[in-house]
């Protein structure tokens, strides 16, 4: 029997209104980016890879707030050929390039984010607090691999919050939840979230968009796969904190400050 392979290289055109909305709000939901059978094909590989490569073995009550929020397994594209096909999808990279308004995007890294039953909320944060990159033209694609609802932990975004760049220097923690919450209320940003998402729907947010997600109150694992894209031509900046230094070593192959990001871990994807 012929092996089923999804056509993930077929492009998907994003209309001008959606691109404008993404750039104004800092986030957008794009439904139906993958068909149900495509997602199912990749889900099998991602779930298997997560079960092999997850190193979090502590009980929920023994973990800190970050640890309770999700199982986080990075760069699965390097260990599984089917996951690689998902992460290297030209359709996904093409959407990232259209949203960022660039010819080409590079991979920063992928990550599976599985929120377990009873898993805690993901506190408010800005992703780019962790990244030693000289551009704010970065975007994360977030795709549930099964149908999900609010009970399971759908992302919420502070609309328009990306425009100020780095506003508070907090890692993901109870403190970041509290401080960003005050900040969002103080600035009057509207907080937007989908009530439900189907497998294969996606959200996209800039690296500086403030976002969080509620805990998982359902008995089912919230299986999500994410890919972080950066505009081609971005450079490494001096790390501002230990996390950025770790990221420089882990995801940029220790590229020196000032170098154009082009290591073999950061291929052009579309």
CB of 158 to ligand AKG, least distance (A): 13
Q: Residue count at the site for ligand AKG (CB under 6 A)?
A: 14
Closest to ligand AKG by CB, 238 or 250: 250
**Binding flag, residue 209, ligand AKG (CB under 6 A):** no
**Binding flag, residue 41, ligand AKG (CB under 6 A):** no
What order do you get walking across the sheet with 202-206 strand by strand?
Answer: 27-30, 202-206, 138-144, 222-231, 105-115, 71-74
Phi-psi map region of 87: left, alpha, beta (phi>0 left; psi -120 to 50 alpha) = alpha
* 29, 100, 113, 231: which one binds ligand AKG (CB under 6 A): 113
Q: Restricting to residues 215-254, which ones interact with ligand AKG according to CB under 6 A?
A: 224, 226
Which distant-in-sequence residues (6+ apart) come within 8 Å of 207 by Cβ?
126, 127, 128, 131, 133, 136, 138, 139, 140, 162, 228
**Binding flag, residue 206, ligand AKG (CB under 6 A):** no
CB atoms within 10 A of CB 8: 19
Q: From residue 52 to residue 81, what is the string marking binding to ligand AKG with x (rule CB under 6 A)?
A: -----------------xx-----------
Q: Restricting to residues 120-139, which ones interact with ligand AKG according to CB under 6 A?
A: 122, 127
Which residues lie across from 204 on neighbouring strands? 28, 141
Q: Are 233 and 133 in contact (CB under 8 A)?
A: no
* 33, 71, 213, 252: which one binds ligand AKG (CB under 6 A): 213
**Binding flag, residue 116, ligand AKG (CB under 6 A):** no
Helices 90-100 & 16-25 angle (0-180, nearest 10):
70
Q: Which residues bind ligand AKG (CB under 6 A)?
A: 69-70, 113, 115, 122, 127, 140, 142, 153, 155, 211, 213, 224, 226
């Amino acid at each position: 029997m012929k092996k089923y392979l999804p056509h993930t290289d077929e492009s998907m055109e994003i209309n001008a209104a959606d691109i404008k909305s993404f750039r104004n709000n800092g986030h957008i939901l794009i439904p139906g980016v993958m068909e149900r059978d495509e997602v199912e094909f990749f889900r099998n590989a991602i779930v298997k890879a997560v079960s092999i490569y997850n190193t979090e073995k502590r009980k929920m009550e023994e973990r800190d707030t970050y640890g309770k929020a999700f199982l986080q397994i990075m760069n699965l594209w390097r260990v599984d050929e089917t996951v690689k096909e998902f992460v290297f999808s030209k359709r996904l990279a093409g959407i990232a390039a259209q949203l960022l308004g660039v010819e080409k995007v590079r991979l920063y890294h992928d990550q599976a984010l599985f929120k377990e039953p009873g898993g805690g909320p993901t506190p408010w944060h800005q992703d780019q607090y962790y990244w030693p990159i000289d551009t704010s033209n970065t975007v994360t694609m977030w795709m549930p691999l099964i149908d999900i609802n609010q009970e399971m932990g759908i992302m919420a975004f502070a609309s328009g919050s990306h425009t100020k760049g780095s506003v508070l220097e907090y890692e993901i923690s109870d403190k970041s939840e509290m401080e960003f919450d005050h900040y969002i209320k103080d600035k009057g940003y509207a907080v937007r979230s989908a009530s439900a998402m189907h497998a294969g729907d996606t959200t996209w947010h800039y690296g500086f968009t403030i976002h969080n997600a509620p805990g998982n109150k359902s008995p089912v694992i919230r299986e999500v796969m994410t890919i972080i894209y950066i505009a081609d031509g971005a450079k490494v900046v001096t790390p501002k904190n230990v996390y950025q230094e770790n990221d420089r070593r882990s995801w940029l192959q220790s590229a020196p400050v000032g170098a154009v990001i082009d290591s073999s871990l950061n291929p052009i994807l579309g």
